Structure 1
């Protein structure tokens, strides 16, 4: 039964929001309301079964956001699926724990948010102590379960939290891809994606899966970790936040799925954790945003904050598929051939093992492209105005330009539907662009909370983004076609009527990129924090919304710039950091 007054109200039950609620509830004299727009997730098999991820899209468990046509990708619209249920996108993501590099967070230049700070929060180490982490440390976030073959950096992991993580046992094609990556100049470092210590190399990526079960943000507030001082309200949207005459956030207006309205008060603080698309939308509906934009919608402007909904950043990804000549290298035979799909499902139901028990990504690498780009006129010209010690993308040598990762069978976004059902096998290498210079926007069309925000990612608007991404895709193709592990097993492109496997020039890849590039679901930056001299900063260094009191934002929208990694682990870290800031203020 939802009460009328709480100490803290958390608006959004996704990755960060669940963490904030759980950590605040550790103070037993506080009561917390966690509000989630979507349903509970406890009975959704396609969340705990990592292989069922795509079944949650295009339904009521998906926000079903679609961009307007974007010029940089040939006028295409891109589907931006997001998890709409308790746990949010931690229940539909690729389960990957790729933290980025410490320099990514140092670049924010905000006190308390250094690389050391963020890496510690991503595994939740006691921040009051500078001593090395021990396996006996309590109250961590990560619960890492190693395997005999994985060479873990033990001090980089946590071992006592709700978030269960383990290494991924790879298909043969992935082992071959690691050999190809090594032979093409990317040294093997097993746990580099945890430590963030290497900007050019290949390795394995631990996943938020353990014993066949996906671990999500919801695990922080459910089952063994549920606390009686947390009330969870699902299938309910936060319409807007209300303020008193002193501009202090005091309550939220809520609309249920059926349209029933209610108002709940907060005695201490309200935290917005609705994600990089919906957090700025909620602030705008509440009167915080660019004054001119709010006035057009007849919203009274409480705080003229021009940065709300601006600075949208995301990682672009390009899939390139290849057919292999030998049986059993990929996992296609476990899904597409004969009645394999049913057998895989029955195996999962009975033993929580098999292809559906994990996510079908394989080998991973970070890469710097300095030598490959040094003779490009555009690169040379941009370098003339780059800050000292930085390249044209704004990166130091310690930060990768791109990431490579492979699939262990044919598959990806739903446009990839040329399945190898006739006992053939295929896989993809995916190239992901880090540090995008192109920035997008999030706006709202009305004050209706049921109307999705308008998300324009503005992909590839900056020509340097296209330069780096196209060179990265070219390098990825060379790894597959020339690498020691794969050069003798790849027959050519998949489907066979494509010829991209034979491309040798960067320019040849540009039409494919504009046609195929899509989101990697790493949206960030739309409620960015910043120092006092930044007029576009929505938040201060303690995540407090500028211009009001009693209101913070805690999710990836707070990022001033997008790190070179995946957003899952920073989302957990931001939630942990936000909770500590709130506790300190109390």
Structure 2
């Protein structure tokens, strides 16, 4: 009966609540909480062993057959929809409190929901991770897991067809920033000032999310893999004596037994939330919310990182040419501060007026406009995530503490990047296109004025990370997981998503989260 039920679930991929008449309690060897960017990969790889049973639990629906989701050109149409958790943030002292952090509520997670920009993180980022206690996560060790991702996930480089993109690249070279292939070994191994055409995890107009690459078609999944959609995990039951996860509870009241291991892949906000609701976190904070503390782990929810972003917008003299794929198709990396060893700023050039926040603050906009988003690659400001109550339905307190670093590194990089963006657009290739700067406008000139504008209208690259930090759990009291991604103090629980970042990587996160999924699955299989 159980094997028949498994086949029924994986073929139809229905919510667990619709099956509650058949199943109020069942058990699996491995339960993956979160069918997102990493979770889809972990579940599918573990199910390659026919002798184990695996369950992936996803809070949103399936992506299969949904053209709005699968069409990479329509990524912006997903923001703020039913496919988006759309998290708000706490009041910011120095940044924009109106920012909404889009997190995907759909199979494939943010890989089903983002702009598809695909990078291997530079070697320097991983070598720094290892120095911080993430043993075995150096550049050489992680590269083979990227390679496994690329066996499944198709990558395409934007073709140099758009004349406005070409104007950006040409202008970058005129200010002595060389063009480089973003997938080259030179970019990864010798990370330095460069510009170029981005890669996307796509094939033509169709995105290659982890769900598409590893799970589609859902009707052909092996019988030992169960995928439950529209199902929210509300709590882990952890045995206080053995310190093992025994059961996963869902919003429908179902109890899913864990025979071997549980893996959290809920993302930067929901993985620490689930840990805290389950009694794993800073003891005094849990007690204040009447949550029994099973493991006192003060790092849960700390170390919240991001790529803070601002934007300059120009009105165009000419009609903006149609994008090749998704409107943000060229990129620049540069070192703005003399003390930085590697590029500390990242630009994405946009074939539109990215006026999400500029418009709300009264800056003009235009149908015929282009923009340059500027972000800090290694921001020093660090925030945190807190529970608001012991009810899983209540929103988190998410406080990034943007631009609060005492060194003012983030502010200095943003101001310097702003000035460079202006310098690039003043170059001759833009003469045909450049009509006038409309946000903020050329009257904004002093460093103080530039800083105020950048922080006022800032947004996010949607790259939160770090809230279940990986490190040496014997030496670092704020490390939540060790190098095997095991949660300190719980024997059969791992975390595998961007929350495990010890610090921020210098590029877009999605492909690195896929790599984490591959590496996590391999570590479990080796044990």
**Shared topology, TM-score over 0.5?**
yes
Match for residue 168 of structure 1?
A: 158
Provide Cα deviations, 1:436-478, integer angstroms capped at 9, x if missing partner.
Answer: 1110111111222222222111111122211111111111111
| Counterparts of residues 328-347 of structure 1 (less than 5 Å) | 330-331=320-321
Q: Secondary structure at the match of 1:236?
A: coil
Match for residue 184 of structure 1?
A: 175
Match for residue 238 of structure 1?
A: 233
Q: Distance in 1 between matches of 2:233 and 2:378?
A: 32
Stretch deviating more after TM superposition (513-522 or 270-279): 513-522
| Cα deviation, residue 416, structure 1 | 4.9
Match for residue 563 of structure 1?
A: 505
Match for residue 258 of structure 2?
A: 266
Match for residue 36 of structure 1?
A: 58
Of 364, 367, 373, the match for 2:334: 367
| Cα deviation, residue 51, structure 1 | 2.2
Match for residue 132 of structure 1?
A: none
Q: CA RMSD, aligned part only? A: 2.0
Kept in 2, the 8 Å contact 1:545–1:553? The answer is: yes
| Cα deviation, residue 415, structure 1 | 6.0
Match for residue 279 of structure 2?
A: 287
Structure 2 unaligned segments of length 5 or more: list them: 10-22
Of 519, 527, 537, the match for 2:468: 527
Match for residue 251 of structure 1?
A: 247
Q: Distance in 1 between matches of 2:526 and 2:457?
A: 47
Of 440, 447, 461, the match for 1:506: 447
Of 109, 124, 127, the match for 1:88: 109
Structure 1 residues 95, 108: closer, same or farther in 2, change over 3 A? same
Provide Cα deviations, 1:488-533, integer angstroms capped at 9, x if missing partner.
Answer: 53111136xx523x65543331121121111111111000111121
Q: Distance in 2 between matches of 1:121 and 1:561?
A: 19
Q: TM-score of the superposition, structure 2-length normalised?
A: 0.89
Provide Cα deviations, 1:400-432, integer angstroms capped at 9, x if missing partner.
Answer: 1011110122346376586634xxx21101111
Structure 1 residues 59, 488: closer, same or farther in 2, change over 3 A? closer
Of 211, 215, 219, the match for 1:221: 215
Of 79, 92, 116, the match for 2:140: 116
Provide Cα deviations, 1:113-158, integer angstroms capped at 9, x if missing partner.
Answer: 002222332232xxxxxxxxxxxxxxxx21xxxxxxxxxxxxxxxx
Q: Secondary structure at the match of 2:452?
A: helix
| Counterparts of residues 66-465 of structure 1 (less than 5 Å) | 66-73=88-95, 76-109=97-130, 110-124=134-148, 141-142=149-150, 160-161=151-152, 163-169=153-159, 170-191=161-182, 195-196=187-188, 197-219=190-212, 220-223=214-217, 226-244=221-239, 245-255=241-251, 260-327=252-319, 330-331=320-321, 358-370=325-337, 374=338, 391=339, 397=341, 399-411=342-354, 413=356, 416=359, 420-421=366-367, 425-462=368-405, 463-465=408-410
Q: Distance in 1 between matches of 2:262 and 2:401?
A: 31
Q: TM-score of the superposition, structure 1-length normalised?
A: 0.80
Q: Distance in 1 between matches of 2:358 and 2:65?
A: 28
Q: Distance in 2 between matches of 1:37 and 1:67?
A: 21
Of 429, 433, 436, the match for 1:492: 436
Kept in 1, the 8 Å contact 2:155–2:200? The answer is: yes
Provide Cα deviations, 1:171-205, integer angstroms capped at 9, x if missing partner.
Answer: 21111100000111111112357742332011111
Q: Distance in 2 between matches of 1:192 and 1:232?
A: 33
Q: Distance in 2 between matches of 1:562 and 1:117?
A: 18
Match for residue 19 of structure 2?
A: none
Q: Distance in 2 between matches of 1:580 and 1:536?
A: 25
Q: Distance in 1 between matches of 2:428 and 2:191?
A: 22
Kept in 2, the 8 Å contact 1:51–1:358? The answer is: yes
Match for residue 20 of structure 2?
A: none
Q: Distance in 2 between matches of 1:413 and 1:226?
A: 40
Q: Distance in 1 between matches of 2:454 and 2:357?
A: 17
Q: Distance in 1 between matches of 2:359 and 2:216?
A: 35
Kept in 2, the 8 Å contact 1:70–1:456? The answer is: yes
Structure 1 residues 193, 563: closer, same or farther in 2, change over 3 A? farther
Q: Secondary structure at the match of 1:403?
A: strand
| Cα deviation, residue 58, structure 1 | 2.0
Of 414, 421, 432, the match for 1:476: 421
Q: Secondary structure at the match of 1:494?
A: strand
Kept in 2, the 8 Å contact 1:97–1:569? The answer is: yes
Kept in 2, the 8 Å contact 1:171–1:362? The answer is: no
Match for residue 491 of structure 2?
A: 549
Kept in 2, the 8 Å contact 1:178–1:485? The answer is: no
| Cα deviation, residue 227, structure 1 | 2.7
Mapped pair 1:5 → 2:27: yes
Match for residue 456 of structure 2?
A: 515
Structure 1 unaligned segments of length 5 or more: list them: 125-140, 143-159, 335-354, 375-390
Kept in 2, the 8 Å contact 1:250–1:550? The answer is: no
Q: Secondary structure at the match of 2:410?
A: helix
Stretch deviating more after TM superposition (264-273 or 216-225): 216-225
Structure 1 residues 443, 14: closer, same or farther in 2, change over 3 A? same
